[in-house]
Amino acid sequence: MSEVSDSLKKEGFTKPILILERTSVTIKAKIEINTKIFPQLYFNEISHKTCYALVLENQRIWGIDFDKIIGWHEHPFENPQNHLKTFFHTPSEAIQKMKEIVLKI
């Protein structure tokens, strides 16, 4: 989580990380940019499911996820329901992409 926190600060996301859900093996968190848009992060230690999403008005508008069925895949800004195979993305790369999209909208 410290790598995520450092990356968020580096990209100018200065508001605190809000933990939405935490269990012994999962964490789900968000960082509010304003009341309508926020980065959301999810990780499951057992399945290694990882999700980086940018949410606008409670709808994912972009994301990069990993699961054991599809592997790493992107939900592109142009069509977030789509699944495009991609490679591993560090938290820093995912957060950088979120910032680029936020600046466009």
pLDDT in tens, 1-56: 667 777 777 777 777 888 999 999 999 999 888 889 999 999 999 999 999 999 99
- Using DSSP bridges, classify how beta strands 71-75 and 26-30 pair: parallel, antiparallel or unpaired: unpaired
pLDDT tens digit sequence for 67-103: 999 999 999 999 999 999 998 878 888 888 998 999 8
Tell me the whole-structure pTM to 2 decimals: 0.85
In this structure, what are the phi and psi dihedrals at residue 4, rounded to the nearest 5 degrees? -65, -50
CA distance 80 to 62: 5
Residue 79 and residue 93: Cα distance in Å, rounded? 20
End-to-end distance of the chain based on CA atoms, in angstroms?
Answer: 27
Task: Show me where the domains of the chain are located.
Answer: 2-104
